[in-house]
Chains A and B, each alone.
Chain A
Amino acid sequence: MIGQLILNGFINAALLAPPAVAFTILFGILKFPNFAIGAYVTVGAFAAFAVNVQLGLPIWVAVVGAMAAGAAVAWLSDALVFKPLRGHAPVTLLVVSIAVAFILEQCVRLFYGGNVRGFDLALERPMRLWGLRITKEQLEILVISAVITLLVHLLLTYTAVGKAMRATADNPGLAEVRGIPHRRIAVFTWLLCGAIFGLSGFLAGLDLVIEPHIGWNLTIPIFAAAILGGIGSAGGALLGAILVGIAEELTVLVLPTTYKVAVGFLIITILLLFRPHGLFGQAEIKK
């Protein structure tokens, strides 16, 4: 029982880890929590649905479609909304990002309504590994998520553009005077993170069902994972995702399942009361 819950927790974590890492990277250049990330996830899920079910193309094309759609809406939301509004108070931008989330989600609803959908995949019986149940889709989620998270880690650690992204997040003014063009790095970051959110939409649709609220429901657990890991740290976000993922599953032991959604919030609240900068975050020096 516990073993199955922990396994489920890891699958949960696999859904949260890539978007939590992307969220924390994006936060590095935006400096406010972008609530529209859930909507990028939703757009990714529906793009994958459109490619796979409506166009009847194979599932891997749907993955590409999800990533492209996620990257496109993320970049567009920056170009049309966040970039022109730069300079407003972070709280205003936060409200604006929720407005963007509403707009995107309602656009999806306009076309697809509120119905629940799924990919065109044959149902298979769950496999059994050491007495634990896992479906083929869940196994795929674990693998894809691990690969993506590893790739992002390698990108940030070893490539020139990854280092420039970290430098820009750390100190944008200094990065610019050292010859690192802020705008180009920002656009690259938006596209990369958007693609990851799109992919997360595909993964979420694989595990759950596809509906317009799919992304909003993931938003708070994603924030919880990123904050737990200390905003700005990709490795921390991964660890945070695992903790939140497992915590959400384990709470069914003490609370009715209906309260599962609240776990992310409770984790954030309790954590922030004792460590206002996250579990692994460091106190920022305010200027």
Chain B
Amino acid sequence: MSAYLVAMATYVGFFMILALALNLQWGMTGMVNFGIAGFYALGAYASGILTAKAGWPVGFGMLAGAAVGAAAGALVALLSVRLRDDFLAIVTLGFAEVVRLICLNEDWLTEGPRGLKIDARPFGSVFGREDYALFYLALVATAVLAVFAVAEAIRRSPYGRVLRAIREDDVVASVLGKDVLVFRVATFAIGAMFMGLAGALFAHFIQNISPYTFLPTVSIFIWMSVIVGGAGNNKGLLVGAGVVMLILEGSRFLNDFIRVLDAEKLSSIRIILIGVLLIVILRFRPSGLMPEEKFKPTSD
């Protein structure tokens, strides 16, 4: 039971990093990213392949996972920084699907649908089995805190304020020109880096990754977390990620007690519940559980 809670909390941690990263990209630059699952998968596979196949130490593998995420993020942002929101949504969704298809079909690299087995674990030999789960939870929690701190620092920095101000106004953005472009791309890349890091942390936690883990549904659940929590508010989306994860994973736990429905039906009901939750919250709390704090533009 407690092992289950620890595992679930760790899962919530991955979701929180993804949600914080998404909010950094969307909240700061206004660029919509529906390819979260793609960056997440890239980080997971990069670290997994480098440690399992090339024998890299875990720490370097994870750094590489984050770096691959950042590079892919910079590339996607550079190519599509000019697109309309709705087109950007489709392009990023497509990017994630292409990543997933590559993971599925290039067996020589990724082991395809069978999944990639990853033995390496950070400090794997130091802790016992029970303790290790706790250690990993602490590791993920530290990562969440670090990402939160970086995201808040960027949000509060002078650049962050400028970016948020111009997010509302395309005309200003085009007038300000190249600097803004560079900063937007950089912010998007930092977000993607965090997503890659989350993927790497996930890979060495679950120790067996397959393309089926990185379906577009992951991206959508993260979006729902951010919207439910309150777009633009980093504390709110931590709550949102917790709520969404609770419904996703918590009902599994329920299943151990109530055996009325088979697993397949229960999985359907979970997803329906999350969808309904999103719609109901938007209807009755249009700005989410914790709305973005309004900031006053300094008059200088």
Contacts and interface: CB of A to CB of B under 8 A. Distances in A.
Nearest to B96: A265
16 contacts: A85-B283, A88-B282, A90-B86, A92-B282, A99-B274, A99-B279, A102-B217, A102-B274, A103-B271, A106-B272, A109-B264, A110-B268, A227-B87, A276-B82, A276-B83, A286-B170
A286 B87 CA distance: 16
A84 B98 contact: no
Contact of B90 (A95, A220, A256, A258): A220
A269 B170 CA distance: 22
Q: Is the interface of A mostly helix, strand, loop or mixed?
A: helix
Nearest to A94: B89
B224 A90 contact: no
Interface of B: 26, 32, 79-80, 82-87, 89-91, 93-95, 97-98, 101, 104-105, 170, 217, 220, 223-224, 227, 231, 264-265, 268-269, 271-272, 274-276, 278-279, 282-283, 286
Interface string A81-106: 10011001011101110111011001
A33 B271 contact: no
Contacts of A130: none
A259 B99 CA distance: 11
B220 A99 contact: yes
A103 B276 contact: yes
A102 B220 contact: yes
B98 A266 contact: yes
Nearest to A33: B86
Kindly name the residue among B83, B170, B223 whose own CB sees the greatest number of chain A CB atoms within 10 A: B223
Interface of A: 32-33, 81, 84-85, 88, 90-92, 94-96, 98-100, 102-103, 106-107, 109-110, 113-114, 220, 223, 227, 256, 258-259, 261-262, 264-266, 268-269, 272-273, 276, 286
A114 B267 CA distance: 12
A259 B278 contact: no
Contacts of A265: 90-91, 93-95, 97-98
B269 A99 contact: no
A91 B85 contact: yes
A102 B271 contact: yes
B95 to A, nearest CB: 8
A62 to B, nearest CB: 25
A131 to B, nearest CB: 32
A259 B98 CA distance: 8
A220 B70 CA distance: 26
Given A85-B283, A262-B98, A272-B83, A33 B90 contact: yes
A109 to B, nearest CB: 5
Contacts of A90: 85-86
Contacts of B286: 88
Contacts of B105: 256, 258-259
